[in-house]
Amino acid sequence: MSAPKLEKTKTPGVYRRGGRYVVRYRHRGKQHKRFARTYDEARTLKATLVADMRRGEHRETSSVTFEDYAREWVETYTGRTNRGFRESTRVGYRRSIEQHAIPFFAARTATLAEIEPRDVRAFVAMLFELRSKPAASTVRGHVAAVKALLATAVEDGLLRHNPATGVRVTRPGAPVLEQDAVEQRRAMDTRELAALLDACPADWRLFFRLLAMTGVRIGEAVELRWSDVDLGAKRLRVRRSYYEGTVSEPKSSYGKRDIPLSTNLGRELWAIQGKPDELVFTSTRGQRVDQSNIWQRVLKPAATAAGVPWVGFHTFRHTCASMLFASGKNVKQVQVWLGHSDPGFTLRTYIHLVDDGLGDADFLDAAGWATGGPHEPRETGQTADPAIARKTA
């Protein structure tokens, strides 16, 4: 049975076919058509299409799937600024897109163009419900990859608007209390750190002591080479980081820094010094340190034995910050030491470690005006207290 023929209507480009209406139009030299349920709906659609094409804002609905576009995008993305795009970031984006975004959006929408803001909000909620219970910063990283992908799709003409624009990353349920946020940045005290180092295998104590005394990130530590260790100047030069098989420079100029080395730490490093191009720390087989392996085989058992099972690699960085503030270092000095790009970030992150420094107010009593009795006359011969001056007069 043949399909009903198109019947012209009073509106050019709008036709009736059986029980529905067809809108025909040309875009970029090709014939296209859309469908509507009623005549009024078809007329509105036709007017909207014409207006959009005149303004140059019309975008054809794409049939490409999220998965197909995402896999190509993550391999070719060059960033959205003139600073370019770091390969280490690509590694993280690729893992995030493949493990989380593709499975979620492929099951929820048929095409890339069908993604709506509510889908992106549902994606955020799903991330927070993962078994690992990720921190908000981790979820923001996953969402950042999707936002960048969708923004590029808009530039490519596959989407008219970015459905991720305005979507906020907020944890469902009750807000995180300030004390809970502090717990996430928990540092070891000297007793806990000593117990952990004692529980570590002897071959790894120097590695973890260096983490605590310098505050370097785990990726920076495993990429340290002997050319980065200046024993004469007692400085540790941080210039690179290793992440997911990729060696890259720090994200900001502050990440490139020279960290002071204590005398004792310098002596321990001098005792095992190798060739300039060799890694400072290696596995028992002489290979690059594998972070997950050292976590499972060394740090996790030692932390459990020491009674601090909550300790992770980043805890040593927090511990270093705690010791720096306790020694009297100011926020700017700690920022430079840790390689933060902004002292404001350092302050927000470690404000709970900063002594308020208020002390007592007894020093104010030294001022003559602070006493409750009559004050000494001023050099002009006038009485300091206005009330006394009035009685005298």
Burial of 243 (0-12, 13-18, 19+ CB in 10 A): buried
Question: pLDDT band for position 199 (50/70/90)?
Answer: very high
Residue 71 maps to a domain: yes
Report CA-CA distances (Å) from 267 to 206, 228, 230, 261, 263: 11, 15, 12, 10, 6
39 plus 155 within the same structural domain: no
| 360 inside domain | no
Q: What token pair was written down for 213?
A: 């005394």
Q: Among 172, 205, 230, identify where a domain stops.
A: 172
Write out pLDDT tens, residues 155-198: 887 887 899 998 988 877 655 444 444 445 688 999 999 999 99
CA torsion sign, 265 to 267 to 270 to 271? negative
| For residues 376-382, average pLDDT | 52
Closest-CA residue to 203 (of 282, 315, 306, 296):
282
The answer to the question of residue 361 being in a domain is no
* Residue with the larger pLDDT of the pair 5 and 70: 70
3 state DSSP class of 306: coil
State the pLDDT at residue 320. 92
Q: Same domain, yes or no, for 49 and 78? A: no
Query: Using CA atoms, how far apart are residues 160 and 148, in angstroms rounded to an integer?
Result: 15
Two tokens, residue 334: 């700690």
User: Residue 36 has what DSSP assignment?
Assistant: E
Q: What is the pLDDT of residue 183?
A: 45
* Domain match, 315 and 344 both: yes
Q: Which of 36, 55, 74 is the last residue of a domain?
A: 55
Side chain identity, residue 229: V
Per-residue pLDDT at 174: 58
Residues 124 and 258 in one domain: no
CATH of the domain at 251: 1.10.443.10
On whether the pTM is more than 0.95, the answer is no
Judged by DSSP in three states, 12 sits in: coil
Within-domain flag for 1: no
Residues 221 and 208: their CA atoms lie apart, in Å, by 10
- ∠ at Cα 312 (319, 259), nearest 5°? 45
Q: Produce one character per residue of 39-59: b if its CB has 16 or more CB atoms within 10 Å, e if not.
A: eeebbebbeebeeeeeeeebe
Burial of 74 (0-12, 13-18, 19+ CB in 10 A): buried
Q: Exposed, middle or buried by CB within 10 Å (0-12, 13-18, 19+), for 159?
A: buried
Query: Are residue 164 and residue 123 in the same domain, yes or no?
Result: yes
Same-domain status, 257 and 309: yes
Same domain flag for 49 and 16: yes
What was the pLDDT predicted at 145?
93
Q: Quick check: is 375 in a domain?
A: no
User: Where residue 363 falls among pLDDT bands split at 50, 70, 90?
Assistant: low
Whether residue 326 is predicted with pLDDT greater than 90 in this model: the reply is no
Within a domain: 60: no
Report if residue 179 sits inside a domain.
no
pLDDT at 384 over 80: no
Per the structure block, which two tokens stand in for 310? 């909550």
Mean pLDDT of 385-392: 48
Q: Assign residue 147 the CATH number of its domain.
A: 1.10.150.130
Same domain, yes or no: 339 and 226: yes
251 shares a domain with 207: yes
- The secondary structure of residue 374, as a DSSP letter, is P
Which residue type, as a one-letter code, is found at position 155? E
Helix (H) / strand (E) containing 124? helix 117-128
Q: Same domain, yes or no, for 249 and 289?
A: yes
Whether residue 244 contacts residue 88, with contact meaning beta carbons closer than 8 Å, is answered with yes
| pLDDT score at 367 | 65
The continuous run of DSSP H or E covering 27 comes out as strand 20-27
Number of domains in the chain: 3
Residue 265 or 378, more confident = 265
Domain that holds residue 162: 66-172
Q: Confidence band (pLDDT; 50, 70, 90) for 361?
A: low
Quick one: pLDDT at residue 28? Answer: 72
Compare 350 and 274 and report the one with higher pLDDT: 274
Residues 27 and 165 in one domain: no
On whether both 102 and 218 belong to a single domain, the answer is no
115 domain residue, yes or no = yes
- Contacts by 304-307, CB closer than 8 A, 24 or more apart: 305/199, 306/192, 306/195, 306/196, 306/198, 306/199, 307/192, 307/195
Residue 77: how many CB atoms within 10 A of its CB? 17
Specify the range with the lowest mean pLDDT, choosing from 103-117, 191-205, 362-376.
362-376
Of 121, 114, 223, nearest to 172 by C-alpha is 121
